[in-house]
Amino acid sequence: MQLMLSRLLGLEVDFTNDIQVFHQYEGPKFSYSVPVEKKYLYFAGNGLLIESNIHARELRHFNYEGNLVFFPVIDKYSALPFDLFSASFYLVSRFEEYLPNIRDNHNRYLAAGSDAYQQGYLHKPLVNIWSLLLRDVLKKKFPALKFRLPVYRFIPSIDIDAAFAYKNKGLTRALGGMVKAFQIRDLDEVKLRIKVLFNLEHDPFDTFKLQMKLQHLYKYRPVYFVLLADYGINDKNIPHTNRYFRQLIRYLADYADIGIHPSYASSIEPSLMVMETARLAKILKREVELSRQHFLKISLPETYRNLINNDITHDYTMGYAEVPGFRASICTEFPFFDLDQDLQTNLIIHPFAVMDGTLHDYMKVSPQKAINTIRELIVEVKKVGGTFIPLWHNSTLNDSGEWKGWLRVYTEMVEEGMKKPADSI
């Protein structure tokens, strides 16, 4: 309720279960779950918000005023025919991810197991949409009530899994890469490696000047997430001790927000995040507050508890690897609620809507199809005054090889994302 009323509608609210306090208050008010008197606005509840155990529930979907809703309530006095507070909590808390589910080979919750995917609303920020429905009900009952609705924002985010393709990796890895290229007889890569190492050609992953040019042109402030893990099968960035890599991080920090990209290995050994975060803090000479999990590995609630224990206050991992859309059915940041502990935390979750690898590697769509998909998502976010956060990688902006044509996807996304919404909510 706090999310809907305060964060999404900008209202100052107080809650009470004391009927005398309720009657004595003279301003706008409503009751939830239990009706008081017919003259008071009332929203019927289905019981989810007063339960303490986690078990599967029947959602029972239906359409109401053109919107998909669930958790119907049969109460003629209720202002709405569904419990929008419970439904929103179910989606934002990721209730279904606490239930038994099937995971992929990286132990990630699959989008196909979600209600949003199965019912076809993954591309809709339903919680934001429902908040506007709630606004209309409140506005009709209390015409003088003033709302402070969220304003649309565009925040590109970029993961630095590997700052450079060939440079600054050390002699052992440079030779190892050369040998592998020879073994598979990829002479073009051998030639490219040699040219890059001898500064005869630009490293294909070093797209940071291009990024900075776009940033200055369109005047946005991105967020970077840097992998600083020890070398491993799934963690292959530049050594954190490399001075060119450290200089790059400090340079980016002058023009962007910087967060840690906790390693793949840290999801198995949480203590690794302590070390990796300390490395970034030492480079930046300040505390690290932002994070996004490498490979988007989230296991609820353990992953977020680990972040909290490491003083991370903002996480940007909430999204799917295999499909675009709104994993928590919301496009506005929100506090993480730990269902097991029945506790709202101070960790703020920033959901992202689409990733470059999702479109290119999983869906295998063309650049033009990718642009169309992204535009559709941006439209949905602008409608509700949300925040559109795409996930990109520096390595995919080189506009060559398998990523030929995808620089245009990124630039058109930025151009579209930076446009102001046509209509006000």
Q: What are the structural domain ranges in the chain?
A: 2-141, 153-165+204-418, 166-202
Region 64-83: mean pLDDT is 96
Integer Cα distance of 242 and 220 in angstroms: 29
Lowest mean pLDDT segment, chosen from 16-20, 106-110, 165-169, 204-208: 165-169
| Model confidence pLDDT, tens digit, residues 413-424 | 999 999 999 865
Residue 301: asked if its preceding bond is cis (omega within 30°), the reply is yes
Tell whether the model's pLDDT for residue 181 goes beyond 60: no
Q: What is the pTM of this model?
A: 0.94
| Model confidence pLDDT, tens digit, residues 318-361 | 999 999 999 999 999 999 999 999 999 999 999 999 999 999 99
Assign 182 a pLDDT band (cuts: 50, 70, 90): low
Assign 120 a pLDDT band (cuts: 50, 70, 90): very high
Assign 186 a pLDDT band (cuts: 50, 70, 90): low
Share of the chain above pLDDT 70, in %: 92
Q: What does the pLDDT read at residue 214?
A: 97
Q: What does the pLDDT read at residue 169?
A: 72
Region 142-166: mean pLDDT is 95
Q: Is residue 163 within 8 Å of 245, Cβ to Cβ?
A: yes
199: left (phi over 0), alpha (psi -120 to 50) or beta: left
Region 115-121: mean pLDDT is 98
Region 207-223: mean pLDDT is 97
Burial of 351 (0-12, 13-18, 19+ CB in 10 A): buried
Assign 165 a pLDDT band (cuts: 50, 70, 90): confident
The angle subtended at Cα 268 by Cα 266 and Cα 274, nearest 5°, is 30
Region 169-187: mean pLDDT is 58
Assign 139 a pLDDT band (cuts: 50, 70, 90): very high
Helices (H), 223-349: 243-253, 271-284, 302-309
Q: What does the pLDDT read at residue 342?
A: 94
261: left (phi over 0), alpha (psi -120 to 50) or beta: beta
Tell whether the model's pLDDT for residue 231 goes beyond 80: yes
Region 127-139: mean pLDDT is 98
The more confident residue out of 180 and 69 is 69
DSSP 8-class letter at 72: B
The angle subtended at Cα 11 by Cα 10 and Cα 17, nearest 5°, is 140
Burial 365-389 (b: 16+ CB within 10 A, else e): eebeebbebbeebbebbbbbbbbbb
The token duo for 289 is: 């507050």
Region 68-88: mean pLDDT is 97
| Model confidence pLDDT, tens digit, residues 255-299 | 999 999 999 999 889 999 999 999 999 999 999 999 999 999 999
DSSP 8-class letter at 109: B
Integer Cα distance of 44 and 253 in angstroms: 49
Average pLDDT along the chain: 93
Tell whether the model's pLDDT for residue 399 goes beyond 90: yes
| Model confidence pLDDT, tens digit, residues 39-55 | 999 999 999 998 888 99
Q: What does the pLDDT read at residue 423?
A: 66
Q: What does the pLDDT read at residue 189?
A: 62
Q: What does the pLDDT read at residue 384?
A: 97
Region 370-387: mean pLDDT is 98
| Model confidence pLDDT, tens digit, residues 301-312 | 999 999 999 999
Tell whether the model's pLDDT for residue 175 goes beyond 60: no
Would you tell me which CATH number, out of the four given (3.20.20.370, 1.10.3720.10, 1.20.1070.10, 3.40.50.1820), belongs to the domain 153-165+204-418?
Answer: 3.20.20.370
Integer Cα distance of 249 and 251 in angstroms: 5
